[in-house]
Amino acid sequence: MVKFVCPEGKRRQGQLCFQAPKGAADGEDGTSGASAELKALISSFRPSLTPKEVLHLGAFGGTYFRDIDSAVTGKRHKDAWKELPKSWLKGLDIRRQVARDWEDYDATVNHYGVKCGNTLEEWENAGWMHPQDPYGWFQWYCRFFQGRRSEDDPRQIKRWLKICGPTGRWKGNLIAKCVKANRAYNDPKVSPVVRQSLLHWAYELTAADLREKKKEILQGKGAYALPRAELFEVHRQGLKRPAASR
């Protein structure tokens, strides 16, 4: 049984926010509270999509909550999707969009219509999977969003930050490609595989994030700085307007 100790994540001023666990560190009761470091880490965790939004946009080829044989728990896990709130699942075809077999991965289910992601076995062999959440990061996120807090939270948040945070490598990769191609932040033709991968981590590129990172790129700084000739062309043309909503 998963225990939820904090309020569900909330969107405030367009950003998702989460609460750190309360307790002794807050002077309220005898339970263990959150350290200042943990509070700062949780405060820095700002995905742009809720778990419900990820599922409804279309993700994981419809396979994420399939039945699995977990190498980290030594158990077979069935019907894991039943743990999710009914409101998240309303309007979804479970067999097609949520719990289809891995062998039946369907790229057309995905928001960007492309296949991406590793197999469960690859994640397990890489050492990323823990028994607490044998399905992986998105299962952790579903539970964290609902209010569970655990000792694995710092590790999982740090993983997200390395991918989607202020210096996240895949977010930076996508921004650089938009700048290089002179395309808008939400143009689906720019690297749909990277966009789909980021969506699996509950992130979609925003205009604000592109504006912030673009300054660094156009100044020829950072890991995604462009060669001088490409910088000149981007400066000359400017960026196109946002693409129409999908």
Structure tokens at 237: 């043309």
Phi, then psi, of 17 in degrees rounded to 5: -130, 150
H or E, element range at 214:
helix 207-218
**Average per-residue pLDDT in the chain?**
88
Read off the pLDDT of residues 66-114 as tens digits, 9 standing for 90 and up: 999 999 999 999 999 999 999 999 999 999 999 999 999 999 999 999 9
**pLDDT at 26 (0 to 100):** 47
Query: What DSSP assignment string belongs to 155-166?
Result: HHHHHHHHHHST
The CA distance from 101 to 94, in Å, is 11
The CA distance from 195 to 199, in Å, is 6
Statement: residue 205 has pLDDT above 90: yes
The CA distance from 34 to 40, in Å, is 10
> Which of residues 170 and 1 earns the better pLDDT score?
170
Amino acid identity of residue 47, one-letter, is P
Q: What angle do CA 169, 64, 40 make, to 5 degrees?
A: 45
Q: What secondary structure, in 3-state letters, does 194-234 show?
A: HHHHHHHCCCCCCHHHHHHHHHHHHCCCCCCCCCHHHHHHH
Read off the pLDDT of residues 149-174 as tens digits, 9 standing for 90 and up: 999 999 999 999 999 999 999 999 99
Statement: residue 241 has pLDDT above 80: no
Indicate the domain borders of the chain: 51-162, 167-237
Amino acid identity of residue 116, one-letter, is C
